[in-house]
Amino acid sequence: MEQKKIDSLALPRKKQLSILETLNSKVDVILVIITFALSGFGLVLISSAGIARSMAVYGEPYYFLTHQFLYGFIPGVIAWFLFQHLDYRIWQKFAFPFFAIAILMLVVVFLPGMGMTVKGAQRWIHLGFLTFQPTEICKLALIVYLSAWLASSKQNIQGSIKGFVGFLFILGLLGGLIMAQPDMGTLGIIVVTACVIYFVSGARFIFLTTILAGGGFLAFLMVKIAPYRMQRIMSFMDPSSDPQGMGYQINQALIALGSGGLWGVGLGHGRQKFNYLPEPVGDSIFAILGEELGLIGCGVLILLFIILAWRGFIIAKKAPDLFGKLLATGITTWFVFQAFINIAAISALIPLTGVPIPFVSYGGSALIFSMAAMGVMLNISKQTRK
């Protein structure tokens, strides 16, 4: 009698096996290796690419490397460690407050005394002892919020007009604040990432088609409104038309990539970082990679992102719930698409956008939130179905 009572309180065998499989899952080792390989790749490249400007501006050769290591890599590893041990489902509960904080930070950028303008763009918050870019927080916040919203609704918001309008409102609110900075490259990454999440959640094809058509029209208007964007497109079409003006950066990038050849001129021996190529530790770091490590070095970096995409989408496919699936899909899309945009722009395949390479380009806040996002995805990998 007692045994029957115990059996009746026990979980069904199928449920027991499912829980055991989840608990016995291990972290994705390949993704861990990719995370630190990309971050290490970035530190090595920054140490070489930043020497000239470090000496010119700060009087020391490794300012950018030291700053990236102390204020990007170290806190990033801490965030990565904490988030991979924190159950990803907790983000579903705090998705809205996280998103609201990200929106508030985008507003703070425009407050006198707190927002900082660099080269005509107001994208940074300056707190005296700390400077960071709120759009890096917004990328992760939007992914978390959209994933939670689309996964938790008991109604079919993915296929309803109400859900479509809500999705457009979220994108419009975030997009308006980002374009006021302005930062069209980041907006493009956010829109594509959001649309991929929306599509994977089960959105109707007509909704996605409408978004793409409307987005294309808005992009056309933004190019017409700002003459410098049209100049970028013209320099992309014919880089030699204005080699000392809008075509300067892409011409110098192509010189760097071309002079690297197959094996490169050697790490630390590149010339373009010596005040020829703008932003050698930031947007143009791929050109420095091509010059110093050649086609082989570029191929290794691209391969790392291909492996990241492979592991990330496998984690999404095997995630234990819809929230985990959308979260892993969004994070993977963010990293891979942003890397593609930078590499394609520096290679003159698309117009220049000013978008950095995740994990690799200089930027402490970008590295911290990239590492944190990777920690979230690793926690999902621990709980994936076998």
pLDDT digits (tens, 9 = 90+) for 101-146: 999 988 888 887 777 776 666 777 877 667 778 888 999 999 999 9
Q: Round to whole Å and give the CA distance between 52 and 24.
A: 50
Residue 354: band (very low, low, confident or very high) from pLDDT cuts 50, 70, 90: confident
Residue 4 lies in a domain: no
Residue with more model confidence, 94 or 243: 94
Q: Round to whole Å and give the CA distance between 65 and 39.
A: 12
Residue 9 lies in a domain: no
pLDDT given at position 64: 93
Q: Are 216 and 144 in contact (CB under 8 A)?
A: no
pLDDT given at position 385: 65
Residue 185 lies in a domain: yes
Residue 8 lies in a domain: no
pLDDT given at position 303: 96
**pLDDT of 190 higher than 70:** yes
pLDDT given at position 25: 54
Residue 6 lies in a domain: no
Helices (H), the chain: 2-9, 13-24, 29-49, 51-58, 63-68, 74-84, 90-93, 95-108, 134-152, 161-179, 184-200, 205-225, 227-237, 248-260, 285-318, 322-346, 364-382
pLDDT given at position 68: 93
Entry pTM:
0.88
DSSP one-letter code for 25: -
Domain residue limits at 205:
26-382
Mark 150-180 as b/e (b = at least 16 C-beta within 10 Å).
bbeeeeebbeeeebbeebeebbeebbebbee
Residue 171 lies in a domain: yes
**pLDDT of 384 higher than 90:** no
Average confidence (pLDDT) over 311-325: 93
Give the strands of the sheet with 115-118, arranged side by side: 115-118, 121-126, 131-132
Smallest Cα–Cα separation from 133: which of 282, 32, 249, 253? Answer: 282
Average confidence (pLDDT) over 276-298: 91
Q: Are 84 and 29 in contact (CB under 8 A)?
A: no
For the chain, what is the mean pLDDT? Answer: 84
Written as one string, the DSSP assignment of 271-297 is STTTTTSSSTTTTTHHHHHHHHHHHHH
Q: Of the ranges 224-233, 249-258, 356-365, which one carries the lowest mean pLDDT score? A: 224-233
Helices (H), 242-363: 248-260, 285-318, 322-346
pLDDT given at position 52: 87
Q: Round to whole Å and give the CA distance between 82 and 130.
A: 22
Smallest Cα–Cα separation from 272: which of 24, 53, 33? Answer: 53
Residue 210 lies in a domain: yes
Residue 7 lies in a domain: no
pLDDT digits (tens, 9 = 90+) for 146-161: 999 998 866 667 767 8
Q: Are 5 and 249 in contact (CB under 8 A)?
A: no
| Total domains, the chain | 1
pLDDT given at position 11: 41
Average confidence (pLDDT) over 364-385: 91
Q: Round to whole Å and give the CA distance between 137 and 126.
A: 15
Structure tokens at 312: 């990330």
Cis peptide leading into residue 278 (ω within 30°): no
